Amino acid sequence: MSLDATERPLQRPVKVDKQKEKYSGKKKTHTDKNLLLVNENTKKVVYLSKTVEGKKHDKKLADESRISYPENASLTKDTGFQGHNPKGVLNQQPKKK
């Protein structure tokens, strides 16, 4: 299984408080974010999180989502999920050069 977050750009909100909520410093734009868990063998989405503001960190979103994984599942994740280590799951994360 593969875990990743995706950001979708939005039109800039008019109200200042909405602008602060939707602004993603990473993408330098206003975005919404979802967390995806995909089965790498079947290429099917197993889990789609609720839509949240773009500034929420990937790991925090994964922790709040409380996803249940099958026992001894293999989980591939990017560096945005560093420290997210669910119990009973084999974690694979790329190393920085």
In a domain, 53, yes or no: yes
Is residue 39 a part of any domain in this protein? yes
Mean residue pLDDT across the chain:
84
Looking at residue 41, what is its pLDDT? Answer: 87
97 found inside a domain: no
| The predicted structure's pLDDT at residue 27 | 67
How do residues 43-78 score in pLDDT, each as one tens digit?
A: 999 899 999 988 888 889 888 888 888 888 888 888
Instruction: Tell me whether residue 72 is in a domain.
Output: yes
Determine the structural domain holding residue 44 and report its residue range.
Answer: 2-92
Q: What is the largest CA-CA distance in the chain?
A: 47
Number of domains in the chain: 1
Q: What is the pTM for the complete model shown?
A: 0.75
Q: What is the pLDDT at residue 45?
A: 92
Residue 32 predicted with pLDDT over 80: yes
Q: Is residue 82 part of a domain?
A: yes
Q: What are phi and psi of 91, to 5 degrees?
A: -95, 140
Strands 52-53 and 23-24: unpaired
